[in-house]
Amino acid sequence: MGTSSLKPQVNGFYDRPSGSIQYVVADPASRQCAIIDPVLDFDGKSGATGTANADALLNLLHVQGLSLQWILDTHPHADHLTAAHYLKQKTGAPTAIGEKVIEIQKLWKAIYNWPNFAADGSQWDRLFADGEEFVIGSIPARVLFSPGHTLASITYVIGDAAFTHDTIFMPDSGTARSDFPGGSATQLWQSIQAILALPDETRLFTGHDYMPDGRAPLWESTVREQKATNSHISKCRTEAEFVALREARDRTLPMPRLILHALQVNINGGRLPEPEANGRRYLKFPLDAL
């Protein structure tokens, strides 16, 4: 198989309110594609939801003649609502996430006091195990278990591209926080080492960019660039050094403003709460839980 046949076409879509990047990853030969980490629009102040982000992804599929094969999430997000369920309703494509999502469901089921919530991963069509392989068209893909930011985070390696989301940011932004329930700076270091063991020319696509120093949003780097210039990784030669740096940094960070909004939707595969008798949907907020 030639090198060109292992190079997916990648389109990134930046959501400014959450600093998130959503991806359409396509096999140029077969026109099959996957959507990774789609965002459902949500305004935490007004409670308004919308589908402009997700519809932009669908429009690209239409314009480029792409067929949607997978709707993929890297983990249950704490800063935005996933549009996976909406996209499944619109396209019928299967949804997938890492199998350790069940552990996150159990953790947040207790936080939200949902005794009847099904913490079994049944909200997705496929739960990927570490090392599991699949395809996007004719391009081979596999799953790297990448815990640390959360205990369920995974990286999708699709041809010469790896989608790391909250594990590695752009080189000038360093790495993801590891202080959420179930997070671990030690595991994050180990996950980063596994990603950096990929070939140097591997393209790395991050899930967030917060535009440090006011630059334009960026989301693509390479393993080689990350090894040489990442503001956290290049400074830390040992696990102990990284853990100390990461934990000190995490102690200065506030919780994401949407964490309590987002997790109750995202552990349910992107399904909003069912309407109550008056036809309205309501989110539930545990006080003093974090």
How many other C-beta atoms lie within 10 A of the C-beta of residue 135? Answer: 17
d(C-alpha 183, C-alpha 188), whole Å = 8
- The pLDDT, as a whole number, for residue 3 is 45
- The pLDDT, as a whole number, for residue 2 is 42
Whether the CA torsion 55, 176, 230, 73 is positive or negative: it is negative
**CB-based contact 250:184 (threshold 8 Å):** no
pLDDT at residue 155 above 80? yes
Under 8 Å CB-to-CB from 266, ≥6 apart: which residues?
73, 76, 77, 81, 82
pLDDT at residue 1 above 50? no
| Nearest partner of 150 among 116, 104, 186, judged by Cα | 104
Q: What is the mean pLDDT of residues 221-244?
A: 95
- Mind listing the pLDDT tens digit for each residue in 59-88? 999 999 999 999 999 999 999 999 999 999
Q: Where are the beta strands (DSSP E) in the chain?
A: 9-15, 20-26, 32-36, 39-42, 49-50, 67-72, 81-82, 95-98, 126-128, 133-136, 139-145, 154-158, 161-165, 203-206, 220-222
| Nearest partner of 175 among 128, 131, 239, judged by Cα | 239
How many other C-beta atoms lie within 10 A of the C-beta of residue 229? Answer: 13
pLDDT at residue 289 above 70? yes
- The pLDDT, as a whole number, for residue 5 is 62
pTM here?
0.95
- The pLDDT, as a whole number, for residue 237 is 87
Listed range (2-6, 216-220, 239-243) with the worst mean pLDDT: 2-6
**Superfamily of segment(s) 7-264:** Ribonuclease Z/Hydroxyacylglutathione hydrolase-like (3.60.15.10)
Q: In 3-state terms, what secondary structure has residue 55?
A: helix
Under 8 Å CB-to-CB from 218, ≥6 apart: which residues?
170, 209
When the pLDDT of each residue in the chain is averaged and rounded to a whole number, the result is 95
- For the chain, domain boundaries: 7-264
Kindly state the helix (H) or strand (E) to which residue 102 belongs, with its residue range.
helix 101-112
Q: Which residues pair with 49 in a beta bridge?
A: 42
